[in-house]
């Protein structure tokens, strides 16, 4: 374990990437919790269909996430000269996240008939890892 930790912290770039991952995790967890709460309330209480509920949660997450991740998670990383490019890439990455989350909702709830809470698990584990990597290397890279 010590060798793994030593390797993770051996360069300033790795230390910064780890710090970004931690910040992204904390901010992302809060945004994800908010989004999944919105999804669950709308879907479970039948305010709307599960797919409309996840779309609504995504819109809220994108707006909050753009400002939070840009100013906190990835502060000091990459260029910030072209806000149009960053904004477009941010939306594209989050669209991919939305598609991943929608897939889990469709497959687990709509297709397999499982409880509405089942997609929350992959939505909070798999999708954030995918979007972190894309944001770090493409959006803010």
Is residue 58 assigned to a domain? Answer: yes
Instruction: Provide the whole-model pTM.
Output: 0.67
Per-residue confidence of the chain (141 residues) as pLDDT tens digits?
A: 667 666 766 788 888 888 888 998 899 889 989 998 999 999 999 888 998 998 999 899 989 998 898 888 887 776 656 667 788 998 999 899 989 988 998 999 999 999 989 998 898 888 888 998 998 889 887
DSSP 89-101: HHHHHHHHHHHHH
Is residue 109 assigned to a domain? Answer: yes
Contact 106, 116 (CB under 8 A): no
Is residue 3 assigned to a domain? Answer: no
Is residue 117 assigned to a domain? Answer: yes
Is residue 5 assigned to a domain? Answer: no
Distance CA 100, CA 104 (A): 6
Domain interval for residue 48 = 15-139
Domain count, the chain: 1
Q: How wide is the angle at C-alpha 104 spanned by C-alphas 101 and 110, nearest 5°?
A: 125
The secondary structure of residue 138, as a DSSP letter, is I
Let me know if 58 is exposed, middle or buried by CB neighbors in 10 A (0-12, 13-18, 19+).
buried
Is residue 6 assigned to a domain? Answer: no
Is residue 69 assigned to a domain? Answer: yes
81 SS3 class: coil
Helices in the chain by DSSP H: which ranges?
2-8, 12-44, 50-68, 83-105, 120-134
């Amino acid at each position: 374990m010590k060798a793994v930790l030593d390797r993770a912290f051996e360069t300033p770039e790795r230390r910064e990437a780890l710090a970004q991952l931690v910040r992204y995790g904390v901010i992302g967890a809060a945004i994800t919790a908010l989004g999944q709460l919105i999804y669950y309330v709308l879907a479970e209480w039948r305010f709307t269909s599960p797919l409309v509920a996840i779309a609504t949660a995504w819109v809220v997450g994108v707006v909050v996430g753009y400002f939070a991740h840009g100013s906190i998670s990835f502060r000091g990383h990459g260029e910030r000269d072209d806000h149009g490019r960053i904004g477009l890439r941010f939306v594209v990455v989050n669209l991919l996240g939305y598609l991943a989350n929608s897939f889990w909702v469709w497959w687990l709830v709509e297709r397999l008939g499982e409880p509405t809470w089942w997609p929350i698990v992959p939505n909070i584990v798999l999708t954030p890892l995918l979007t972190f990597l894309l944001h770090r290397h493409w959006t803010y890279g």
